Structure 1
Amino acid sequence: MLKFQRALLGAALCLSTAWAQAQDIRVEQPWSRAMPPTAPAAAAYFVLHNTGAGADRLVGAATPIAGKAELHEHAHVGGVMQMREVAGGIPLPAGAEVSFQPGGYHVMLLELPRQLKGGEQFPLTLRFEKAGELTVEVPVRHMAPAMQGGHHHGH
């Protein structure tokens, strides 16, 4: 009986730690751009804030509107700007913010059954190494929103 109580207490501590870590991650200004008729893919953008004392890492994303959602970045490789999938996730240091914006980090939405249209919105679930999952509603806009401040921390 004592083993069971200790196991139960351990599980409760793990859950409360995960809940506390999830509370330390904030997602602001989520958005996606309306797609032209021939676009095969879309992207989601946002700003991540880690208000906690511990570092975390964004390791994946999912949405019911796409067959696949991948973490991508634009990077200079050999003097050429390339878009590539980020292997191993994106670090989110303690007390920091990381911007996902055109020309930088973004969530690539692939295998879409149809084009996204302005005025729509969709759920996007972000998976963190420590904080677990966090789901946000992403509005689809005709134009990029005006970003507040210069959110370039983290790249």
Structure 2
Amino acid sequence: MRFQPTFLATLAAAVLSTAAFADSIISVEDAYARSSGMNAKAGAAFMMIKNTGDTDDRLVSAQSEVAARVELHTHKIDENGVAKMMQVEEGFAIPAGEAHMLQRGGDHVMFMGIKKPFEQGAKIPVTLVFEQAGEVQIEIPVDLERQDGHMKHSH
């Protein structure tokens, strides 16, 4: 079949342009991950996600080999005033030209069934999946000492 090399070249170009597109419009700043201790079975990651493009986007999932499951979560207050963590299946909207903060007590990436303890200073490979921008691969540093309200504004 003669069309196969052309098809493969076109497919490769499309994949590469999608990756460049994602890199150019989605940025992740000040990411860090935590777990509650050496015996923890779960952990979470927090970050600021910026959409510098002119099209709205949505973070629809996250993936990582460090845990059995990775989900997008938030905290909701129930009718009794109790905060409960729950999965956000529709993901998080990232409007064009704006940012969405993933932070403790709010929206976050949840790692369930972590395969080994999160160690201070380690890096966790995570793939963020967006509706428009596609996959964005990042490494999130583990910071078990981080306190609330200390978001750095670095790249």
**Length-normalised TM-score, structure 1:** 0.81
Secondary structure, aligned partner of 2:142? strand
Within a 5 Å distance, the mapping from 1:88-127 to structure 2 comes to 88-127=90-129
**Structure 2 spans left out of the alignment, 5+ residues:** 1-5
Within a 5 Å distance, the mapping from 1:50-89 to structure 2 comes to 50-78=51-79, 79-89=81-91
Query: Distance between the aligned counterparts of 2:63 and 2:15, measured in 1?
Result: 24
Query: Distance between the aligned counterparts of 2:122 and 2:14, measured in 1?
Result: 39
Does the Cα contact within 8 Å between 1:73 and 1:105 map onto a contact in 2?
yes
Partner letter of residue 126 of structure 1?
Answer: L
The Cα shift of 1:40 comes to 1.8
Cα distance 1:55–1:113, how it changes in 2: closer, same or farther (>3 A)? same
Within a 5 Å distance, the mapping from 1:10-25 to structure 2 comes to 16=17, 19-25=20-26
Cα distance 1:119–1:12, how it changes in 2: closer, same or farther (>3 A)? closer
Query: Distance between the aligned counterparts of 2:135 and 2:14, measured in 1?
Result: 18
The Cα shift of 1:77 comes to 2.3
Secondary structure, aligned partner of 1:111? strand
The Cα shift of 1:54 comes to 0.5
| Range with bigger deviation, 114-123 or 46-55 | 114-123
Percent of aligned pairs sharing the same letter:
38
Deviations 1:1-25 (A, max 9, x none): xxxx9xx989967964663244100
Runs of 4+ in structure 1 off by over 2 angstroms are 8-22
Count of paired positions: 146
The Cα shift of 1:37 comes to 2.9
Matched residue, 2:3:
none
Deviations 1:82-107 (A, max 9, x none): 10000211111011111111100111
Query: Distance between the aligned counterparts of 1:135 and 1:101, measured in 2?
Result: 19
**Length-normalised TM-score, structure 2:** 0.81
Secondary structure, aligned partner of 1:115? coil
Deviations 1:61-86 (A, max 9, x none): 01111111100001222232110000
Within a 5 Å distance, the mapping from 1:39-58 to structure 2 comes to 39-58=40-59
Partner letter of residue 55 of structure 1?
Answer: D
RMSD of aligned C-alpha atoms? 2.6
**Structure 1 spans left out of the alignment, 5+ residues:** 150-155
